[in-house]
Structure 1
């Protein structure tokens, strides 16, 4: 048996509609979060917000006068930044900024880069390896799967020296050295 709701509880429940919840139309969001194994919904909403702001900034730059030196300079800076982050494939056209979305950010996450470089077979496995502390980017051990890897850092994603996985891979490739480990 359920107790009778108090007055303030009834007032709060009047404002909530349990049948038509506004977050029910988030099929695409759930699909992307499942594909890239994003554990925190806040990360996805952040990516969405950033991509929206990038598109808005590109639209504002596009609305400036064609011959304005400020437009040329800012568009070059924006394109350079987005290219270095790996969100756009080339830095020649401002129209590329319209293609930046939350999925572009998801593709630059550390687990996706690990799968792309064949360090892991699936994104879920890559997330587990990252959380366990087996992966480093440069000299820094990364334990956050939401770490965004830029184009410059892409080549520096490796295993931690003390990792059992690195040891196993070296044994498999007949490169294992007892002194080194």
Structure 2
């Protein structure tokens, strides 16, 4: 009797421990998943983590709701080796001091989207509410950025815009034409090194589109050595060496006397 009872108890032992082992394995898996998601969350930029508010059942952030930037910003040419287009692009890149042709393609893509919007509005009736409302908004934006004059208050003028109109309104171009830089490339260096401000805001983006109202507020940054701020490292070093040399010369004169 005792032997059979012992065999029966040993046979039931694995059946009893299986749920316990399954629960322990589930707990370990959940903890591992939580650690991995937290590690992934730390690796994301701050602006991404601030938008991730949804959580899963374990209290961890749900990464399916994280907003990520997507969409085209430029469009490559269909014919990559077209001589006339290559010559025109090279001329614009050199004239406006662009870093690469991608910056020019970005302007062309923006222009194409604006022109397509104008074409869709021109297909509608002149008294259509959508054409009146969206057309006026589009023209106001073009006037605000100096792409069109106030007298050009028709959608037909939007179709006549060229990439040169947009390139003329870049901060890099305006800094050079205002005489603050020696060349178009020097203007880009000044902007990237945070020497230029628009109003009270320091702008370090060369492709920044300047509004007509903000154009008169382009100036050197208050903290820049070019705008009366603290001298640069090399100038401070030279000033210190000159002061030390002058002090040494005064001591020599006193010794001679």
Q: How does 1:138-153 map to 2 (within 5 A)?
A: 138-153=199-214
Name the structure 1 match of 2:80: 22
**Is 2:172 the counterpart of 1:111?**
yes
SS of residue in 1 equivalent to 2:219: strand
SS of residue in 2 equivalent to 1:162: coil
**Is 2:178 the counterpart of 1:120?**
no
What is the alpha-carbon distance in structure 1 between the residues aligned to residue 137 and residue 222 of structure 2?
37
SS of residue in 1 equivalent to 2:81: helix
Segments ≥4 residues shifted beyond 4 Å: none
Higher relative contact order (CA 8 A, sep 6+): 1
What is the alpha-carbon distance in structure 2 between the residues aligned to residue 101 and residue 114 of structure 1?
21
Contact persistence 1:47–1:101 (CA under 8 A): no
**Is 2:218 the counterpart of 1:157?**
yes
What is the alpha-carbon distance in structure 2 between the residues aligned to residue 40 and residue 140 of structure 1?
26
What is the alpha-carbon distance in structure 1 between the residues aligned to residue 205 and residue 81 of structure 2?
27
Task: Normalising by structure 2, report the TM-score.
Answer: 0.53
Largest Rg, 1 or 2: 2
* Shift, 1:24, TM fit: 4.4
Unaligned ranges ≥5, structure 2: 1-78, 230-257
* Shift, 1:118, TM fit: 2.6
Unaligned ranges ≥5, structure 1: 1-20, 169-181
SS of residue in 1 equivalent to 2:131: helix
* Shift, 1:126, TM fit: 1.1
Name the structure 1 match of 2:227: 166
Q: More displaced, 141-150 or 76-85?
A: 141-150
The number of aligned residues is: 148
Name the structure 2 match of 1:102: 163
Task: Normalising by structure 1, report the TM-score.
Answer: 0.74
